[in-house]
Amino acid sequence: MVHVGIGYDVHPLVPGRRLVLGGVEIPHSLGLDGHSDADALLHAITDAVLGAIGEVDIGHLFPNTDPSWKNAPSRIFLEEAARRVRARGGRIVNIDASLAAEQPKIFPHITAMKAHIATALGIAPGKVGVKATTNERLGFIGREEGIAAMAVAAVDLPE
């Protein structure tokens, strides 16, 4: 039976940090602030996968109060979500995700993001959708104060 999960994450943009989205470092004057590498896209996807299998969210599994996750690559979180799917005898059917950012331009990095996400999840890149949009200069995203990500995961689990 196919189960669906949804994930959302947002991080503020700050100077002095690398910008990592979808596991890919993107050249930009600002980076995302957070306890780990603050990869909002991988965080949203991780929560979507965990939600599809009825698990707690990323913040409960990898709390920002735990110093072992300080500056950790978010790929670790995504790989753990995929491991939990496999432990239940399930498989990830597909992922669809969207990023909302005014700058930098995301499109040139989407192929690399999809490959990175697919490898971390153990699925084909064709089963990963990544899109990007702006916020039409509205709100904190429009003012270039942060980046948001939304994701949906479909997971096939045995009954």
Domain hosting 141: range is 2-156
Upper half-sphere CA count for residue 58 (Cβ side, 13 Å): 30
User: How does residue 159 score in pLDDT terms, banded at 50, 70 and 90?
Assistant: confident
Give the CATH number, domain containing residue 72: 3.30.1330.50
Average pLDDT across the chain, whole number: 97
Residue 142 has pLDDT above 90, yes or no: yes
Query: In 3-state terms, what secondary structure has residue 113?
Result: helix
pLDDT digits (tens, 9 = 90+) for 6-43: 999 999 999 999 999 999 999 999 999 999 999 999 99
* Number of domains into which the chain is organized: 1
Name the pLDDT band for 122 (thresholds 50, 70, 90). very high
In the predicted model, what is the mean pLDDT of residues 44-53?
Answer: 98
- CA distance between the termini of the chain: 6
pLDDT (0 to 100) of residue 158:
94
Examine the pLDDT at 50 and tell me if it is beyond 90.
yes
Kindly report which listed range (8-17, 56-65, 108-117) carries the lowest average pLDDT score. 56-65
121-143 mean pLDDT: 97
**Is the CA virtual torsion 79, 32, 23, 44 positive or negative?**
positive
Question: Phi and psi (nearest 5°) for 89?
Answer: 75, 20
What pLDDT score was predicted for residue 19? 98
Judged on CB neighbours under 10 Å (0-12, 13-18, 19+), 48 is buried
